[in-house]
Amino acid sequence: MTSPQWQDALEAAILAPSPHNTQPWRFEVTGDQVDVLLDESRVLAVADPGGREARMSCGAALFNLRMALRSQGLPVHVWLTPDADRRDLLARVRVSGHLAARADELVLYKAIPRRRTNRRPFRDDPVGGDVQMALRQAALHEGARLVLLVRPQRYDAVSTLLRFAENSQRQDVGFQDELLAWVAEDPDRLDGVPPLASGPPPLIEPLVLLRHYGSDGDKRPREYEQEPLLGVLLTHRDDARDHMRAGQALQRVLLTATAGEVSTSFLSAAVERSASRSALTSVLGEEGYPQAVLRFGYGYLPPHTRRRPVDEVSTCL
């Protein structure tokens, strides 16, 4: 049986985001140690053939795990990709001793169950400069950079690229078949994205296109915000460790936004195709590798997407 400290930490870990809510993680608990592993059976063959986004999801789960342990006053020691012979072993976490949690760690931990991907319309209220600074600092804290698109010329170029990438995926039969497999029409399904979590159809096509899950059903068309705040998360390199760092940085950014009552959603198309990802790098004119594109704004909270229980994704050795 999992000890209470690990049970609480794993309950937090599984609330991390993942593409199509695939939940591509597994955990092996041994005494004062937990290994974070990639469940390769849940890597998206079309959207994420190299497993980059899946590793980022595991990195996000690792960050939640860290904050949950720190909230208990436990010092956390993390090794990324600790065994070169095990491709699925992404991180090893150990705890020992006692160290009081910092106030910022407790704020982030409390934000974990409130964080949700919001695919619905945002209000046109701008995200203030102090919040933007906090989001940038969150990424830097985990060894990544968040580039917020505040210059009109760069904003227009990136939003055009995002629209092109999203339209390309909408016309890609293989991608659409894979996406359909992860639409959770069954209300008892514990993974995938239910249609209820998808946004309503737009009254007028917005500047930034959002990914759509399932049929619109009885959803009434609504107007989306004209120019949401956009951000691109960058890392210095692009290997498995950097994907795990990117996932941790991503989750710190998302939880920082949640703590500030800012809603977030993903604009993944531009980083899921190699050609559009390279084009995004060129448009940004920044050093590094784009790992995620985010939309920030203010909106009403959507429902949670479901998660598989801890007992299903963890093993005590």
pLDDT band of residue 3 (cuts 50, 70, 90) is: confident
User: DSSP readout, 87-106?
Assistant: TTEEEEEEE-S--PPPHHHH
User: Which domains, from first to last, does the chain contain?
Assistant: 4-115+308-316 (3.40.109.10), 129-297 (3.40.109.10)
Residue range 142-170, pLDDT digits in tens: 999 999 999 999 999 999 999 999 999 99
Does pLDDT of 1 surpass 60? no
User: For the residues of 214-260, what is the DSSP string, one character each?
Assistant: S--TTPPPBPPPSS-EEEEEEES--SHHHHHHHHHHHHHHHHHHHHT
Evaluated on CA atoms 97, 36, 80, 8, the torsion sign reads: negative
Pairing of strands 25-30, 314-316: parallel
Render pLDDT for 59-89 as a digit per residue (tens, 0 to 9): 999 999 999 999 999 999 999 999 989 999 9
Kindly report the pTM of this predicted structure.
0.97
- At 44, the pLDDT band (50, 70, 90 cuts) reads very high
Tokens for 234?
């960058």
Question: pLDDT exceeding 70 applies to what percent of the chain?
Answer: 99
Q: What is the pLDDT of residues 169-197, one digit of tens each?
A: 999 999 999 999 999 999 999 999 999 88
| pLDDT tens digits along 291-302 | 999 999 999 888
Pairing state between β 145-148 and 76-80: unpaired
Tens digit of each residue's pLDDT (9 = 90 or more) over 205-235: 888 989 988 776 678 899 999 899 999 999 9
* Mean pLDDT over the full length of the chain: 95
> Would you state the structure tokens that stand for residue 93, as one six-digit string?
């976490």
Q: Residue 90 has which token pair?
A: 């992404």
Percent of the chain with pLDDT over 90: 85
- Looking at the predicted structure, is the pLDDT value of residue 39 above 90? yes
